Amino acid sequence: MTGPRVAGLRPSDVLASFDGPLGAYVHIPFCEWICPFCPYNKVLARLGLAADYFAALLTEIDMYGAGPFTSLYVGGGTPTLYPQHLAEVLPRIPVTGERAIEVLPLHGTVERLGVLKEIGFTAVSIGAQSFHDPVLRHLHRPHDAAQALAAVHHALDTFECVDVDLIVDVAPEEPSQHPGAFLTDVRTCFAMGVDQVSTYPLMRFGYTPFGEARHNRHREHEILAQVDALARTMGYERRSVWTFNRIGSAPYTSITRRRFLGFGAGASSFAGRDFYVNHFGLLTYMDTVRRGHPPIAKWLHLGRAAGMAYDTFWQAYSGGIDTGSLSDSYGRWARLIRPALAPLAGAGMVTREDGVYRLTARGFDQYHDIERWVTYHFIEPLWAQMLAEHKREGSHVPWAETANARSGPTWRVVERALSRRVESRAG
Ligand SMILES: C[S@@+](CC[C@H](N)C(=O)[O-])C[C@H]1O[C@@H](n2cnc3c(N)ncnc32)[C@H](O)[C@@H]1O
Ligand code: SF4
C-alpha cells in the first residue's frame, strides 16, 4: 500500500516538521469485546500479541526520543486491559501536563483505577455511553448501567479530572425507544459533578453492522440545545461542539491539542503542515518498527493553506478560533481568516472579540453538521482503507466490511492531490 511512498521518512524529519509544542497520543488496539457501532482500530485481545505490540510501541517511542510533551492521551481500543504494560510506557513519555486514559466501565473498579493513578495518570474518560440498560443493549455494550454508574463514582473518588462519554442515537429510522434516556443521563453526570460530559451523536460507519443512515439533524440540534439549557441551570458550560464542562473545572485538553505526535497502530500525527497516519495492521506496524523505520503508512503534506484550514477546523471544534495563534503558525495566510469568517459572522454563527472568534449556538449546530460530513467523507474512507490492512493480515473483526464503507470522490481527490506532493518530496 502506501509504505514505499514514505520509506525515506526518518523520525527526525517528522519531528522537524512540527512548528510548536506537541501533545502525545498512544493507541492500544485491543478489545476483549467488539462493540458493533465502533469504528476505531482494534482487534480481539490476545495476550501474546499484546506483549509483542507493547515491545514495538516502546521501540517506536524511543525511536523518536521526543518530549517533553504538553499532555498525553492513551486511547483505544481498551487501554485499561494492560495496566502492567502501560506502567512501562509512561516513564518513556515525558509530559508536563495532563496524562489521560480511556476507561472501559468494566475496568472502572476501585483497584484498577488506583493502579492507573499510581502509574501516573491524572485524568480518565469513562466510556459509559448510557446509564440505561435498554440503550446499552441497543449498542451491544459489554457492561450494564449499574457498572457504568459505579465506574463514574469510583473515578470521581480517585481522579481530579473525570470525563464521561455518552452516545445519543437519533437516526430517523430508529425513533428512540427510550425517550428522555439521554437527557436523564446527562443530568445524572451533571448532578454527580463530573468535570466533562462528552455527548456524541452516534456515527454510523458503513463498514460496521450499524451501517449507513440518514441523520435527523434538526433532532440532533434540538437535543444538544436541551443539554446546553440544562447545563446552564446546573453549573456547566459548553466548551466544544460535543463537550460540556463544569464551570471552573480545569480544561480537559489532551484530545484537542493543536499539534500531536501519535504512537501505535493507526495513530495519527498533525505537525502544522503535515499529517501522518501509522499502519493500522498490527503485524505491518510491528514489522516496520522492528526494521527500525517509523511505522508511517500515509503522509499528507498539507502545506500552509490546507494546514491552516485543518488547524482552524479543530480550533473551531473547541468553540474558539484564535487568529493570533494562527498568525504565529502560518504568517500572512492567517489574514485570510477574517474575510473567510465574515459571512459566518454575518449569519450569526461566530462573534469576534480580541482576535478570537467564538461559535454561537447556531455556529455549534452548523459545526455539528460539518463535523459529521467530514467524518463520513474523510475519516471513514481513510479508516476503511487502512482497515483493509487487517483483512490482509487475517486479523479483521468479522463484521468489518470495508467494501461497505463510504468512499466518495471528495476523499479520493484530496488524497490524490496531497499524496502526490508527498511522493515528489519523498522521492
Ligand atoms: C475508543 S472508545 C472508548 C474506550 C473504551 N474502549 C470503551 O468502550 O469504554 C472512545 C469513545 O468513542 C465514542 N464512540 C465510539 N464509537 C462511536 C460512534 N460510532 N459514534 C459516536 N461515538 C462513538 C464512545 O463514546 C467511546 O466511549
Ligand atoms: S467502543 Fe470501546 S470496547 Fe467497544 S469496540 Fe470500541 S474501543 Fe472496544
pLDDT of the residue at 398: 65
Q: How far is the CA of 336 from the CAs of 312, 325, 340, 349, in angstroms?
A: 11, 14, 6, 18
pLDDT confidence band for 48 (50 / 70 / 90): confident
Domain with residue 410: its CATH number is 1.10.10.920
- Residue 397 within a domain: yes
In sign, the C-alpha dihedral spanning 283, 284, 287, 289 is: negative
Are 340 and 244 in a shared domain?
no
Ligand 1 site, residue 127, Cβ cutoff 6 A: yes
pLDDT of residue 255: 63
Residue 254: phi and psi, rounded to 5, are -65, -20
Please check the confidence at residue 280 and state whether its pLDDT lies above 80.
yes
Asked if residue 42 has its Cβ within 6 Å of ligand 2, the reply is yes
Quick check: CB of 78 below 6 Å from ligand 2?
A: yes
Question: Can you tell me the distance from the alpha carbon of 282 to that of 298, in angstroms, rounded to the nearest whole number?
Answer: 15
On whether residue 52 sits in a domain, the answer given is yes
Examine the domain organization and report whether 107 and 187 are in the same domain: yes
Query: Which atom of ligand 2 is nearest to 34's Cα?
Result: 5
Domain count for the chain, please give it: 2
The last residue of a domain, from among 255, 283, 317 = 255
Cα dist from 139 to 172, 209, 219, 404, whole Å: 16, 11, 20, 20
Q: Are residues 243 and 350 both part of a single domain?
A: no
Average pLDDT, the chain: 89
CATH number for 89: 3.20.20.70
Query: Would you say residue 352 lies in a domain?
Result: yes
pLDDT attached to residue 215: 80
pLDDT of residue 172: 55
Whether 240 contacts 318, CB under 8 Å: yes
> Which among 114-118, 173-177, 325-329 has the top mean pLDDT?
114-118
Residue 423 — pLDDT band, cuts 50, 70, 90?
very low
Lowest mean pLDDT across 78-82, 116-120, 305-309: 305-309
List pLDDT tens digits, range 168-227. Answer: 987 655 555 677 899 999 999 999 999 999 999 999 888 788 877 778 888 889 999 999
Residues 232 and 317 in one domain: no
Among protein residues, the one with the nearest Cα to ligand 1's atom 25 is 165
Q: Is 40 in the pocket of ligand 2 (CB under 6 A)?
A: yes
CB contact set of 221 (below 8 Å; sequence gap of 6+): 365, 368
Identity of the amino acid at 411: W
Q: 377 in a domain, yes or no? A: yes
**What pLDDT was estimated at residue 206?**
83
Whether residue 24 has its Cβ less than 6 Å from ligand 1? no
Q: Assess if residue 9 is contained within a domain.
A: no
Q: Give the pLDDT mean for 242-252.
A: 90
First to last CA, the chain: 16
Q: Is the pLDDT of residue 77 over 70?
A: yes
Q: Which atom of ligand 2 is nearest to the CA of 127?
A: 2
Show the domain range for 419: 303-426
Task: Name which of 68, 196, 58 is nearest 125 in CA terms.
Answer: 196
Q: Are 240 and 323 within one domain?
A: no
- 68 and 165 part of one domain: yes
Q: Is the pLDDT of residue 58 over 80?
A: yes
The residue contributing the CA closest to ligand 2 atom 4 is 35
Tell me if 90 CB under 6 Å of ligand 2.
Answer: no
* % of the chain with per-residue pLDDT over 90: 63
For helices 323-330 and 303-317, what crossing angle results, to 10°?
Answer: 160
415 pLDDT exceeds 90? no
The C-alpha cell of 5 is what? 511512498
User: Residue 167: CB within 6 Å of ligand 1?
Assistant: yes
Q: Are residues 202 and 144 in the same domain?
A: yes
Confidence class for position 4, pLDDT limits 50, 70, 90: very low
Atom of ligand 1 nearest to the CA of 37: 19
Mark which of 198, 223, 255 sits at the end of a domain: 255
| Res 5 pLDDT > 70 | no
146 and 218 inside one domain: yes
Task: Give CA separation, 193 vs 106, 151, 162, 330, 374, in Å.
Answer: 21, 14, 9, 39, 32
Ligand lying nearest the CA atom of residue 77: 2
User: Does residue 143 belong to any structural domain of this protein?
Assistant: yes
Q: Are residues 84 and 150 in the same domain?
A: yes
For residue 277, is it within any domain? no
Per-residue pLDDT tens digits for 340-354: 999 999 999 999 988
What 3 state SS string does the chain have? Answer: CCHHHHCCCCHHHHHHCCCCCCEEEEEECEECCCCCCCCCCCEECCHHHHHHHHHHHHHHHHHHCCCCECCEEEEECCHHHCHHHHHHHHHHCCECCCEEEEECHHHCCHHHHHHHHHCCCCEEEEEEECCCHHHHHHCCCCCCHHHHHHHHHHHHHHCCEEEEEEEECCCCCCCCCCCCHHHHHHHHHHHHCCCEEEEEECCCCCCCCCCCCCCCHHHHHHHHHHHHHHHHHCCEEEEECCEEEECCCCCCCHHHCCCEEEECCCCEEECCCEEEEECCCHHHHHHHHHCCCCCEEEEEECHHHHHHHHHHHHHHHCCEEEHHHHHHHHHHHHHHHHHHHHHHHHCCCEEEECCEEEECHHHHHHHHHHHHHHHHHHHHHHHHHHHHHHHHHCCCCCCCCHHHCCCCHHHHHHHHHHHHHHHHHHC
Residue 195 phi, psi (nearest 5)? -75, -35
Q: Give residue 400's pLDDT.
A: 67
Do 222 and 308 lie in a common domain?
A: no
* pLDDT tens per residue across span 370-405: 888 888 888 888 888 777 888 888 776 666 677 677
Mutate to test the pocket of ligand 1, among 28, 80, 129, 167 (most ligand atoms within 8 A of CB): 167
User: Is residue 174 situated within a structural domain?
Assistant: yes
Pair 128, 70 in one domain = yes
Residue 222 and residue 365: Cα distance in Å, rounded? 9
Give CA–CA dist 224/366, Å, rounded: 12
pLDDT band at 1 (very low <50, low <70, confident <90, very high): very low
When pLDDT is averaged across residues 304-332 and rounded to a whole number, the result is: 91
Domain limit, last residue, from 220, 237, 255? 255
- Higher-pLDDT residue of 108 and 355 is 108
Using pLDDT thresholds of 50, 70 and 90, give the confidence band for residue 358.
very high
Strands 243-246 and 196-201, bridge-based pairing = antiparallel
Looking at the fold, whether 26 and 145 belong to one and the same domain comes out as: yes
Calpha distance 138→169 (Å, rounded): 10
- For residue 418, name the pLDDT band (cuts at 50, 70, 90): low
